[in-house]
Structure formats: structure tokens, C-alpha cells
């Protein structure tokens, strides 16, 4: 079975929900609890509920979710009553401030999205409490997650709050219905240069995002095209406002990607110079117009002066000049300006080995530390290149102690198989979050930069490029849902393990069959290494076809035929980024990491070609030569891809036919692609090096 990529009407979207419920519902299946003791425990509390706080759209969302979940999980719908015994109690901490239930709870430091769930054994009540109404919504989702996982609450309080202040989803959707780097169909926000008005679908998506704690979303591409530039005009603002209403009911603020040159394109001004009075006034008036339509509008996301996008460089101004001008326009309304640090000259000559794209973000932004306004945040990709399967962590993360920073991941698998391949990305994200920058000495982790705790910054968080589209299962590959779920759970709590997140997702999505859980979890946890094995070795990256970024092309390059990213010749391979003989990129790290990466002996094997140019015979810490590592991992990776397919086949009778067939189609593609990668990469490096595979395997035609 293939994924339908025809753009749905609203009626078709409703049909998806009805005709493909298991695929469409993702981890919000709410299947009936089959454990009698668990069902009995929750049934004793869930016959009725009382709401102690005022009814707002957000509280109504929480109540709707509670009733939907309990009805499906327990087979009976709870009724709303007055305060009584044997019931669920929903409210804020202030609503129960006079009750002695709070005597045993330490809640003083909870933030506004925090919550508490606890049992009162005296009256047999289950309190579902938020610090504010936002916390109530998240508490309801937590309770329903516990129920789906067949976990009985103990007498100990559940006290949780998000670690990261901003937990954002970036959509790269275009108003014509296409999605840049979208691998799950078309956009459900737009079609044919207008909003699709699939309000029900957007509502279902908001539910999904809220269930994993997302609280901010951009709904259009960072590469803002001509029509999308008009989203901030009267022609589109009513539909933008309607979309914001839907997300607001789930505590998700709506942001827009804006075109930096809008004063020229929309306002007819002669420039977009950030220091020009008429430009500054235009943006202030535009901000007032937007906030009149959307009072809680989040703000703008801006990509400027990179990959041919307009920006302040045209006028001899800095990124700080450009960002602060927009920040000033948003500030009176409480808005935020997010300025992306993915800035580099895509027209530079890559034949010059002193040119290094990896240096670009740090070189551009580090000299500006402390010059950005307090409502401006720099959005920094997890690596200095572009979401590769393996690259160094961006040295800009943690370097700017006087600037707000938000970490950027990519859920969409642009360079990791485009959701045709299984590639569970949570382990990669965990590695990034746990990377020690040494910014304030040992223990200065990236996760502390993202949370704002390292430098006590007022604004911080994590954003990611979304992987959802209008496919009936949202993500194309049914197992790609694990990345969407895993991202949300991880940015809520970076201490969760990749294993635990996988278990949560599998159980909620496919049920609690032990064999299904064991098999899919093994597949997920192995998949990132498998993908790395048959694609890019030792941190060299890229080697994909230009433009669409799928499939092997060893010398592929995005913008021209100006060479490659790996500098392979008959003598060796890798990029010399050392201070002593290379581009000097290693100097951008704090001394402890600089020393580790500068030294060929100390550099980890998995990044050796990212930091060093070495002979093919260079011996790795593993004991293998570089060339033998390339041969071995590509053979292993192709075999592992076949193993993934066989593992999937082994649970055919234990999951539904639709999701099984969708997965099998993808695994067949992955097996074929892995073999292609193996043969092309190994053949290329055999011909470059002239060194035979020591195991005598055929590696060239």
C-alpha cells in the first residue's frame, strides 16, 4: 500500500480519520485497557470529574481530551459533576490552595506549564492540577499517557514541568501546497496559493503537538516566497488568525516566517535598510496590524543573508542591526524575533581548501555577542553544516554568553533517508544535548544552553523542522512518527533516554504486545547506526545527490561543480579543520574540545574525517584502517538494512495490515538504497585508493 499524496479536501481529511484510524491517530490510539487490574484502578476514579477553574478554550481542550481518552480506554464516558468523592478533580494550584492536599506537595518552584497529579486516599480523588491552566492540559495528557502505558499511579505525587521554555515546530510549507524537505505528502495548511482551511486536520495536529508538549509553531517556510510574504497583510491575516485560534486552544503560539525585504515588496519602500527610519516605522505599523488580528502572536522567524535570501548585508549592516530592528517592532506586543544562524556564502569556491562552510555561523555571529535585544533569539543548528548524519556539534552553542540562543534540530530526514529509510534520530539528539561545551568549565552541556540555565538567559529553547504532511499517517513512513513523538518528549525532558521514549511511543502506537515492543524497539535503536554505516563514513558527511539530497553521489555538491566536501584524492580523504595545517575551525571550540579535535590521536573515530585529512591507511582507534572501515561498514549497513526488513516481517501477524504494508514498502526501498550506497561508495574509494578489501569481497564492477 502506498501513501496517498493527492491533496485532500476537508472532507477527504475527515475520511482519513475515519478510514485509517490506526495510522491517523499516531500515539493517541487510546485503545481499551486490557489489563483488568489497571482498568479497575482507573475506573474507580474516572466515573465523574469536577472542574474547579474557569472554562476557557484551553480548559475545554483539556476536558475534551480527558473525556475522549477515558471513554476509549475504559469504555465509559465520565460525567461532569460537582465536588464529590471518587472522582477526578481538575484545577489550578490556586483553586485548591485552601485544601490540605497541598501540605505534602512541594510546588513552589513550578513554572506556569508545570503540573501535579496525586491521589487523595481519604476521599478517593485523583487531583489533576496545573500551576496554571496550561499545566492542566499537560497533566491530562500525562495521565492518559500513563493509562495507555498500563501504568498504575502510586501514592507518590507526579510533579513535572518542561525543562525548555520554547518547544517549537518549524514547518517549511509553501503556500502552493508543496513542502521544502517534506517527505509525507503535501501541506495540510495550504493548497493552490491559499490556506486549505482544513480546520479539522489542523485541530487534530494541534492535539498531537500538545500531547508531546510543543508550545510554538511556525506554519510557513523559512525561505519566504512572494505569496507567503503577504501572510502579514489583510489578504491572509484572517486565515492566519483562524489558524492561531486552533493552536491557541492547545497552548501553542503561532509564529510566521517573514521576508526581510517585505518593506520593499509589500510597502513599496526603496530599501529594507534596518537603520532607515521609514523601514523601522513600516515594521512597527505592520506589527500593530498583526497583533490587532492575533493578540498573542508569537513573532517572526527570519532567514537572512544566506542562500540568496535578502538581509541587512545589502546595506552594510550587521545581523544585530537587522534582528534588533524587527525585535523593536515586536517588543511592545510581547513578541519574539528568532534569527536563524544558518548563514554562509553559497557561492564561495570550494576548491580553495581554506574555505570552510563549518566556520560560517561562528564567524558571523560570535563578534556580535551582547549586541542583540532581549527579545531576539539566535536559532543555531545542532551542527555547523546542515543536519548531517554525523558532524561536530556547533561551537556557537554556548559560546555567546550574552545572547539568547535556541537549538535547531531537523525531524524531517533530509539527509537521513527522507522517511523512506528508518532512522530514529533521538539517539543523535541525545548526543548533541549531552555534549559538553566546557563554556563554563566541565559540565557545561548543550542541554543547559538550550534551557537557558547555563547563562540564565531570559529566552531559550529548542526548535525543529517538522516531518509531517497530509499523508493519512502524517509522516509517510509509519515508524517516522517515532521521531516526531521523540522530539517532543525529549525537549520537554532532555533526561529521558532514547530507549524509554521508544518504549512509550511503541506501546501507545502499536499496543503492549511484548514481541512487538521488543522487535520495533530493537529496530529503532539500531537504525541510526545502520544508516550511518551504509552512507557517510567517519563524519565525512554529504556524498548525496545535489538538490534533492537522496541517494549516493560521492562528489555531489549543492550549488556548482566546485569540488566536494570530503577532498578525497589518491592519497587520502577528509577535511583538515585543524589550526596547525587546516581551516582553523577547531579554534572555535573551547580549549578542552579544541585540543581533542585538533589532535589526530585524540579525535574520536566517528569524527576523524570531519576534522582531519588522512591517508587511507591511517589506523583508527578501532584497529582498522580508514579504507577498511569504509568497506566493512558499507557491507554491514546493507546487511543490517535487510535485517530491519526481516524484523518487520516477523511481526506481520501482530500489527494491522495497513501499517505493516506501509512499512514493508519503505523497508524494500531502504534495502535497495543501502545496496546502491554500498556499491557506489566502496567502488569509488577502491578506485581512488587502489587498496583491496582485505576480505576479498567484490566492491567494484
Helix (H, G, I), strand (E, B) or coil at 119: strand
| pLDDT given for residue 478 in this prediction | 98
Which range is least confidently modeled, 12-16, 458-462, 465-469? 12-16
CA 405 – CA 620 distance, rounded (Å): 35
Position with higher pLDDT, 139 vs 541? 139
CA 13 – CA 22 distance, rounded (Å): 14
Cβ-Cβ contacts under 8 Å for 374 (sequence gap 6 or more): 404, 458, 459
Cβ-Cβ contacts under 8 Å for 88 (sequence gap 6 or more): 45, 46, 48, 49, 50, 66, 78, 125, 126, 128
CB 481 within 8 A of CB 198: no
Q: Compute the average pLDDT of residues 318-337.
A: 98
Whole-prediction pTM value? 0.96
Model confidence at 560, in pLDDT bands (50, 70, 90)? very low
End-to-end CA distance of the chain: 34
Q: For 643-654, write each residue's pLDDT tens digit.
A: 999 999 999 999
For residue 540, is pLDDT > 50? yes
CA 512 – CA 33 distance, rounded (Å): 10
Q: Nearest to residue 416, comparing CAs of 49, 56, 138, 674?
A: 674
Q: Nearest to residue 489, comparing CAs of 592, 561, 411, 396?
A: 411
CA 376 – CA 369 distance, rounded (Å): 12
The DSSP 8-state label assigned to residue 52 in this structure reads: -
H runs (alpha helix) in 411-547: 426-433, 446-451, 481-492, 498-510, 514-534
Model confidence at 354, in pLDDT bands (50, 70, 90)? low
| pLDDT given for residue 278 in this prediction | 98
CB 285 within 8 A of CB 240: no
The percentage of residues in the chain with a pLDDT greater than 90, rounded to a whole number, is: 87
Order of strands, edge to edge, in the sheet holding 48-51?
79-80, 48-51, 87-92, 125-130, 115-120, 158-160
CA 255 – CA 335 distance, rounded (Å): 9
For the question of residue 289 being annotated catalytic, the response is no
For residue 114, is pLDDT > 90? yes
Q: Compute the average pLDDT of residues 625-651.
A: 98
| pLDDT given for residue 4 in this prediction | 44
H runs (alpha helix) in 498-625: 498-510, 514-534, 591-598, 608-611
| pLDDT given for residue 154 in this prediction | 84
Model confidence at 82, in pLDDT bands (50, 70, 90)? confident
| Dihedral sign computed on CA atoms, order 68, 74, 75, 77 | negative
Model confidence at 419, in pLDDT bands (50, 70, 90)? very high
**CA 153 vs CA 63, 99, 121, 343, 524: distances in Å:** 20, 21, 12, 48, 28
CA 389 – CA 416 distance, rounded (Å): 6
Q: Which helix (H) or strand (E) holds 359?
A: none
| pLDDT given for residue 535 in this prediction | 97
Q: Compute the average pLDDT of residues 192-197.
A: 96
Cβ-Cβ contacts under 8 Å for 297 (sequence gap 6 or more): 244, 253, 254, 255, 256, 290, 291, 333, 335
Q: Is 78 left (phi over 0), alpha (psi -120 to 50) or beta?
A: beta
Q: How many CA atoms lie within 13 A of 209 on its CB side?
A: 30
Model confidence at 559, in pLDDT bands (50, 70, 90)? low
For residue 127, is pLDDT > 60? yes
According to CATH, the topology of domain 166-508 is TIM Barrel (3.20.20)
Which position among 180, 239, 386, 639 bears the catalytic label? 386
CB 312 within 8 A of CB 365: no
CA 24 – CA 656 distance, rounded (Å): 13
Return the domain boundaries, the chain: 22-160, 166-508, 534-575+613-689
The percentage of residues in the chain with a pLDDT greater than 70, rounded to a whole number, is: 95
For the question of residue 76 being annotated catalytic, the response is no
Q: For 332-350, write each residue's pLDDT tens digit.
A: 999 999 999 998 766 565 5
Q: Provide the Cα torsion 322, 328, 334, 335; round to 10°.
A: -20
Grid cell at residue 682: 566502496
The DSSP 8-state label assigned to residue 585 in this structure reads: G
For the question of residue 408 being annotated catalytic, the response is no
Strand partners, 128: 90, 117
**Hey, which CATH number is domain 22-160, 3.40.50.2300, 3.50.50.60, 3.40.190.10, 3.30.379.10?**
3.30.379.10
Which position among 95, 204, 328, 414 bears the catalytic label? 414
Cβ-Cβ contacts under 8 Å for 501 (sequence gap 6 or more): 426, 482, 485, 486, 489, 490
Cβ-Cβ contacts under 8 Å for 270 (sequence gap 6 or more): 264
Grid cell at residue 676: 546502491
According to CATH, the topology of domain 534-575+613-689 is Alpha-d-glucuronidase, C-terminal Domain (3.90.1330)
Grid cell at residue 123: 476521599
Q: For 20-66, write each residue's pLDDT tens digit.
A: 999 999 999 999 999 999 999 999 999 999 999 999 999 999 999 99
Which position among 307, 555, 606, 658 bears the catalytic label? 307
Average pLDDT, the chain: 94
CA 129 – CA 59 distance, rounded (Å): 12
For residue 3, is pLDDT > 80? no
CB 321 within 8 A of CB 275: yes
Q: Compute the average pLDDT of residues 221-249.
A: 97
CA 77 – CA 56 distance, rounded (Å): 21
Helix (H, G, I), strand (E, B) or coil at 517: helix
Cβ-Cβ contacts under 8 Å for 156 (sequence gap 6 or more): 118
Which range is least confidently modeled, 38-47, 102-111, 383-392, 493-502? 102-111
Grid cell at residue 264: 520593499
Give residue for cell 566517528.
606
For residue 668, is pLDDT > 70? yes
Model confidence at 5, in pLDDT bands (50, 70, 90)? very low
Amino acid at each position: 500500500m502506498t501513501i496517498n499524496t493527492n491533496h485532500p479536501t476537508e472532507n477527504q481529511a475527515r475520511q482519513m480519520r475515519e478510514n485509517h484510524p490506526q495510522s491517523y491517530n499516531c500515539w493517541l490510539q487510546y485503545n481499551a485497557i486490557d489489563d483488568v487490574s489497571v482498568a479497575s484502578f482507573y475506573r474507580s476514579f474516572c466515573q465523574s470529574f469536577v472542574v474547579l477553574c474557569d472554562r476557557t478554550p484551553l480548559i475545554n481542550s483539556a476536558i475534551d481530551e480527558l473525556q475522549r481518552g477515558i471513554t476509549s480506554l475504559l469504555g465509559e464516558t465520565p460525567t461532569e459533576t460537582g465536588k464529590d468523592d471518587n472522582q477526578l478533580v481538575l484545577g489550578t494550584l490556586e483553586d485548591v490552595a485552601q485544601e490540605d492536599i497541598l501540605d505534602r506537595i512541594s510546588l513552589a518552584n513550578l513554572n506556569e506549564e508545570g503540573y501535579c497529579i496525586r491521589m487523595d486516599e481519604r476521599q478517593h480523588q485523583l487531583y489533576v492540577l496545573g500551576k496554571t491552566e496550561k499545566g492542566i492540559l499537560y497533566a491530562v495528557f500525562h495521565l492518559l499517557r500513563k493509562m495507555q502505558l498500563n501504568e498504575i499511579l502510586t501514592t507518590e505525587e507526579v510533579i513535572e514541568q518542561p525543562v525548555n521554555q520554547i518547544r517549537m515546530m518549524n514547518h517549511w510549507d509553501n503556500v502552493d501546497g508543496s513542502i521544502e524537505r517534506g517527505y509525507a505528502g503535501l501541506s495540510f495548511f495550504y493548497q493552490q496559493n491559499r490556506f486549505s482551511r482544513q480546520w479539522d486536520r489542523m485541530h487534530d495536529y494541534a492535539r498531537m503537538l500538545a500531547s508531546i508538549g510543543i508550545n510554538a509553531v511556525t506554519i510557513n517556510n523559512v525561505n519566504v516566497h512572494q505569496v507567503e510574504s503577504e501572510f502579514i497583510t489583510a489578504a491572509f491575516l484572517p486565515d492566519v488568525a483562524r489558524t492561531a485560534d486552533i493552536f491557541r486552544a492547545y497552548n501553542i503560539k503561532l509564529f510566521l516566517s517573514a521576508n526581510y525585504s517585505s518593506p520593499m515588496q509589500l510597502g513599496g519602500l526603496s530599501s529594507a535598510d534596518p537603520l532607515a527610519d521609514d523601514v523601522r516605522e513600516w515594521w512597527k505599523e505592520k506589527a500593530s496590524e498583526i497583533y490587532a488580528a492575533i493578540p498573542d502572536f508569537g513573532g517572526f522567524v527570519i532567514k537572512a543573508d544566506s542562500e540568496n535570501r535578502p538581509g541587512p548585508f545589502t546595506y552594510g549592516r550587521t545581523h544585530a542591526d537587522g534582528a534588533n530592528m524587527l525585535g523593536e517592532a515586536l517588543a511592545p506586543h510581547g513578541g519574539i524575533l528568532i534569527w536563524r544562524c544558518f548563514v554562509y556564502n553559497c557561492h564561495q569556491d570550494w576548491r580553495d581548501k581554506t574555505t570552510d562552510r563549518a566556520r560560517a555561523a561562528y564567524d558571523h555571529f560570535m563578534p556580535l555577542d551582547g549586541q542583540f535585544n532581549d527579545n531576539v533569539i539566535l536559532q543555531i543548528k545542532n551542527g555547523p553544516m546542515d543536519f548531517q548524519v554525523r558532524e561536530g556539534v556547533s561551537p556557537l552553542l554556548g559560546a555567546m554568553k550574552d545572547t539568547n540562543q535556541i537549538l535547531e534540530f531537523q525531524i524531517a530526514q533530509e539527509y537521513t533517508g527522507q522517511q523512506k529509510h528508518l532512522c530514529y534520530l533521538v539517539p543523535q539528539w541525545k548526543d548533541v544535548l549531552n555534549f559538553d561545551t566546557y563554556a563554563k568549565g566541565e559540565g557545561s552541556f548543550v542541554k543547559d544552553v538550550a534551557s537557558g540555565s547555563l547563562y540564565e538567559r531570559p529566552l531559550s529553547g529548542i526548535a525543529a523542522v517538522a516531518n509531517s504532511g497530509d499523508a493519512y499517517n502524517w509522516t509517510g513512513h509509519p515508524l517516522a512518527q517515532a521521531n516526531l513523538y521523540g522530539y517532543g518528549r525529549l525537549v520537554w525532558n532532555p533526561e529521558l533516554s532514547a530507549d524509554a521514549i521508544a518504549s512509550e511511543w511503541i506501546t501507545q502506537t502499536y499496543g503492549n504486545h511484548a514481541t512487538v515492543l521488543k522487535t520495533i524497539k530493537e529496530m529503532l535503536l539500531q537504525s541510526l547506526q545502520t544508516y550511518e554505516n551504509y552512507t557517510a563514513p567517519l563524519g565525512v558527511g554529504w556524498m548525496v545527490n545535489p538538490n534533492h539530497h537522496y541517494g549516493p553521489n560521492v562528489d555531489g555538491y549543492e550549488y556548482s561543480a566546485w569540488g566536494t566536501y570530503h577532498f578525497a584524492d589518491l592519497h587520502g580523504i577528509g577535511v583538515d579543520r585543524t589550526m596547525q595545517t587546516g581551516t582553523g575551525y577547531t579554534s572555535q571550540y573551547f580549549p578542552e574540545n579544541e585540543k581533542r579535535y585538533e589532535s589526530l590521536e585524540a579525535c574520536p573515530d566517528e569524527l576523524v574525517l570531519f576534522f582531519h585529512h588522512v591517508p587511507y591507511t591511517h589506523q583508527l582507534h578501532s584497529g582498522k584502517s580508514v579504507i577498511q572501515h569504509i568497506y566493512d561498514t558499507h557491507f554491514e549497513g546493507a546487511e543490517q538494512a535487510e535485517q530491519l526488513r526481516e524484523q518487520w516481517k516477523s511481526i506481520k501477524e501482530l500489527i494491522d495490515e495497513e501499517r505493516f504494508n506501509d512499512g514493508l514498502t519503505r523497508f524494500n526501498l531502504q534495502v535497495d538504497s543501502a545496496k546502491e550506497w554500498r556499491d557506489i561508495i566502496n567502488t569509488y574509494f577502491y578506485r581512488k585508493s587502489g587498496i583491496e578489501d582485505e576480505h576479498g569481497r567484490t566492491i567494484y564492477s
